[in-house]
Structures are given as structure tokens and as C-alpha cells.
């Protein structure tokens, strides 16, 4: 009897243990799995609908009947040519080109761009397109997807995240050289020089051991990789012992600009110099002409720079002349207002869209350094005209920028304090 009871107790223990194992398995199935799928679902919230559709294509398409190929564009390639190589008939090619016309120029695809084709076989001589993908830059991708007898085109923009970044350094040789050592990208350096170009002459005023600091926006992807740079929020220079701080601000009329702590705009009618990274090679005044060989009044300022160096509009205005102009070679003249004009000579070429009658904004690239006309080497000949009389641009005293008042001044003070707090946190990190 005792043996039976012992045996019965052992059986109960075994049954209880098996029951516990079954319960644990059920708990894992109904509790753990939904939690896992919830994490996956949460992750997938960042994935575009098109990417989700792409995952579904694994099931929709018959893998045996579909072929994926990646084709890099070579010289003289067109999309029509690439599709013909994929054995797509002319009627379908025309339909595809018509659909993509809004997004790209099928006749002018860029060399080294990569098209991804997914095709289905119709017979030994013909295929049909199921999908075309093209990454047009590091942010945007174009997708053409078959939908029955027609095609749908989607432009997908990568989700980017903004973060503020602080960079600083001490000038040893030039602003550009020292900024590159601080891992600052070219477009940020150019914008920094443009902003301070109203106050500081980077060809003459910069001294060794001057200090700079820039706070600017960076846009990164999900992996934290930089995709593009944004605006400069704060710019600082310690130049020849003097401190300059500039703050980004948008006024009530949505006009953006950079302002000193007292609310005064850094912008003036004209920039001090319309070119960065150049050397002042010839001043305004009497000189021995390098080609003609005799003394002659030099009614401009020359900046020696490498061929192709960008030239900026010193101020906003209208292009009066953009053509060959005798000894000046390729020449641009801009009318800024009824008083001021500026001229730019010996250019290698004009900037995109620059022509007579065109409006330009201050700091816009209008041309590139060259040596056209009567010239001994690549340089910019720059002139400032006041009421059509050429004057010394280096001694010109321009009216101060606007001063923020009223509500704009109040809003600027709030924005300035926020920027200073944010900058302090970046410095401490």
C-alpha cells in the first residue's frame, strides 16, 4: 500500500512537471512572440510603404520567372539604350520613358549612376519590366513599379534626422586649411566665409592664431551617416584680437540673416571681397601695366586665384552685362541700385543661368576665375562703380546693415539666448 502511495506521488510529480513545461511553452508562444513581433513592427514604422511592398514582392513574384540586374551608366548611354539591352520592346520602352519624364531626363542619365532592373521573361526574344529603381542622390530614390498594364512611379526620400554640430579651430595658414583640419565640409566653409565676408576681408585681415567656431546643422540617416549639411546657426571669429559673434535669425517677414548680439545685421550693400581663397595681387591706383609695359591707372582690384575658383555677386541686383567685353575678356557687370554697380573681368565662364537682365542675390556664384582678354594669368579683376565712376573697393565705406527693432528685436533676444545655451551644451560635450 505504501509502495502504491509512493508510486502515485511520483506519478503526480511527473504529471505536474510535464504540465509546468507545457504551460511555459504556451506562455512563450502567446507572450514572448507578440512582444518580439511588436519590436519588429515598431522598427518597420520607419520603413516606407514601398519598402514594405518590396518585401511582399518576395511572395508576389515568381523568383524563377523574374531576373534582377544592376547596370552602371557608361558614356553615351541613354535609358532607352539600357532598356533595349534588357530586351524590352519599343512600345513598353516608350511607356516607361513617358512615366519617368517628370523625374529624370531619360536622354541625359549621369555616368556611373546605377539602374536596378527586375524583368520577367515573355519569350526567348522579349522581356517585360516589373520594376526599375534609380538612386538619384544619397537621399532620393526613384522607383517605377508595374501595376497590371500600367506603371506607377514613386520618389522616395530617405528619412533624415537633424543634429547640431560644433566645430572650432585656430588658423595657422588660412581659414580653409584650418577648417579642413577640423573636418568641416567645403560648403560649410564657403558659407562661413560668405557670412563673415561683409565684416572680414579673408585675403588681408586674417592673422595666424585667429580663432573660429561654427555651430551648424547636420542631417544623418538611421545609421548615423551624414547625408547633407544644413544652415549655420552660430558663427564666431576672433580676428586680430577682436571678437565677432553672429546669430542666425528669421524675422517676422520670414527674411533670414545673421546678426551681431546687439541686433545689427552683418549684411551690407556689398561684400568686402567677392572671392574666397584668393591673393590680392594688384591694388587700385597707378602701376606699370604687366602687358603694355607703361604706367597706367589701374581702376580695379586684382585677386590671383586658381582657374575655376567660384566668384560671388558682391550684392543683390540685376545683371547689366554678361558677355565678352574687349580687353576684359568674359565680363559681368551688376547694377545693385541707383548708386552702386560692380564688375567682374577675365572670367573663364559664367555661372549657371547668368545672363543680361537676370536678377542675382548677394553671395550667389556668378562666374569662375579665368584669364580671358588681356591677362597674364588666372585672376579676377574686380571693380566697384559709384554713379558709374570706378572707386577703390578696398577703401570703400559702406552703410551699416539694418538693426532689428520692436517685436523682431524681442524674438531675436530669445533666439540668441537659446543658441547660446545650445552652444554651451555642445562645448561641454
Across 206-233, average pLDDT = 92
DSSP letter, residue 31:
I
Of 252-266, 268-282, 304-318, the one with minimum mean pLDDT is 268-282
Report H helices in 30-181.
33-44, 49-60, 79-85, 90-100, 175-181
Listing DSSP states for 338-392 in one string gives: SSEEEEEEEEEEEPTT--TT-EE-TT-EEEEEB--SS-SSSEEEEEEEETTEEE-
Helical (H) or strand (E) element with 82: helix 79-85
pLDDT at 115 (0 to 100): 92
- Residues in a beta bridge with 231: none
The bridge status of strand 242-250 relative to strand 256-259 is antiparallel
pLDDT at 137 (0 to 100): 84
**Domains by residue range for the chain, with CATH:** 49-157 (3.10.450.350), 161-259 (3.10.450.350), 279-395 (2.70.70.10)
pLDDT at 285 (0 to 100): 56
Asked if the model's pLDDT at residue 19 lies above 70, the reply is no
Average pLDDT, the chain: 82
Quickly state the pLDDT bin for 275 (edges 50, 70, 90): confident
pLDDT at 61 (0 to 100): 47
Q: Which of 119, 395, 68, 419 is nearest to 245 (CA)?
A: 419
Quickly state the pLDDT bin for 300 (edges 50, 70, 90): confident
Higher pLDDT, residue 409 or 205: 409
Do the beta carbons of residue 163 and residue 218 sit within 8 Å?
yes
High-pLDDT (> 70) share of the chain, %: 79
Quickly state the pLDDT bin for 22 (edges 50, 70, 90): low
pLDDT at 52 (0 to 100): 42
Could you tell me the maximum CA-CA distance found in the chain, to the nearest angstrom? Answer: 134
DSSP letter, residue 271:
-
pLDDT at 281 (0 to 100): 60
Amino acid at each position: 500500500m505504501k509502495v502504491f502511495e509512493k508510486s502515485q506521488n511520483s506519478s503526480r510529480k511527473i504529471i505536474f512537471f510535464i504540465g509546468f513545461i507545457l504551460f511555459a511553452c504556451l506562455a512563450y508562444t502567446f507572450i514572448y512572440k507578440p512582444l518580439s513581433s511588436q519590436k519588429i513592427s515598431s522598427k518597420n514604422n520607419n520603413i516606407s510603404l514601398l519598402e514594405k511592398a518590396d518585401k511582399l514582392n518576395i511572395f508576389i513574384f515568381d523568383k524563377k520567372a523574374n531576373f534582377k540586374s544592376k547596370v552602371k551608366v557608361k558614356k553615351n548611354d541613354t535609358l532607352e539604350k539600357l532598356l533595349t539591352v534588357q530586351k524590352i520592346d519599343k512600345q513598353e520602352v516608350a511607356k516607361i520613358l513617358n512615366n519617368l519624364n517628370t523625374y529624370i531626363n531619360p536622354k541625359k542619365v549621369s555616368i556611373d549612376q546605377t539602374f536596378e532592373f527586375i524583368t520577367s521573361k515573355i519569350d526567348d526574344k522579349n522581356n517585360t519590366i516589373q520594376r526599375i529603381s534609380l538612386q538619384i542622390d544619397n537621399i532620393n530614390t526613384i522607383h517605377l513599379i508595374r501595376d497590371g498594364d500600367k506603371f506607377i512611379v514613386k520618389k522616395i526620400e530617405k528619412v533624415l534626422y537633424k543634429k547640431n554640430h560644433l566645430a572650432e579651430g585656430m588658423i595657422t595658414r588660412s581659414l580653409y586649411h584650418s577648417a579642413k583640419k577640423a573636418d568641416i565640409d567645403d560648403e560649410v566653409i564657403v558659407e562661413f566665409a560668405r557670412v563673415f565676408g561683409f565684416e572680414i576681408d579673408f585675403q588681408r585681415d586674417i592673422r595666424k592664431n585667429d580663432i573660429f567656431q561654427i555651430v551648424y546643422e547636420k542631417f544623418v540617416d538611421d545609421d548615423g551617416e551624414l547625408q547633407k549639411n544644413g544652415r549655420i546657426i552660430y558663427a564666431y571669429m576672433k580676428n586680430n584680437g577682436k571678437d565677432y559673434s553672429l546669430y542666425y535669425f528669421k524675422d517676422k517677414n520670414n527674411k533670414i540673416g545673421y546678426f551681431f548680439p546687439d541686433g545689427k545685421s552683418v549684411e551690407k550693400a556689398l561684400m568686402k571681397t567677392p572671392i574666397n581663397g584668393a591673393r590680392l595681387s594688384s591694388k587700385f591706383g597707378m602701376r606699370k601695366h604687366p602687358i603694355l609695359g607703361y604706367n597706367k591707372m589701374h581702376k580695379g582690384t586684382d585677386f590671383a586665384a586658381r582657374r575655376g575658383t567660384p566668384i560671388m555677386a558682391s550684392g543683390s541686383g540685376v545683371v547689366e552685362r554678361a558677355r565678352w567685353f574687349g580687353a576684359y575678356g568674359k565680363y559681368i557687370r551688376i547694377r545693385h541700385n541707383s548708386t552702386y554697380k560692380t564688375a567682374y573681368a577675365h572670367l573663364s565662364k559664367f555661372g549657371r543661368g547668368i545672363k543680361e537682365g537676370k536678377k542675382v542675390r548677394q553671395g550667389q556664384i556668378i562666374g569662375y576665375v579665368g584669364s580671358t582678354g588681356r591677362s597674364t594669368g588666372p585672376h579676377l579683376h574686380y571693380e566697384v562703380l559709384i554713379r558709374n565712376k570706378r572707386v577703390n573697393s578696398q577703401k570703400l565705406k559702406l552703410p551699416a546693415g539694418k538693426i532689428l527693432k520692436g517685436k523682431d528685436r524681442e524674438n531675436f533676444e530669445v533666439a540668441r539666448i537659446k543658441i547660446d545655451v545650445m552652444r554651451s551644451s555642445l562645448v561641454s560635450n
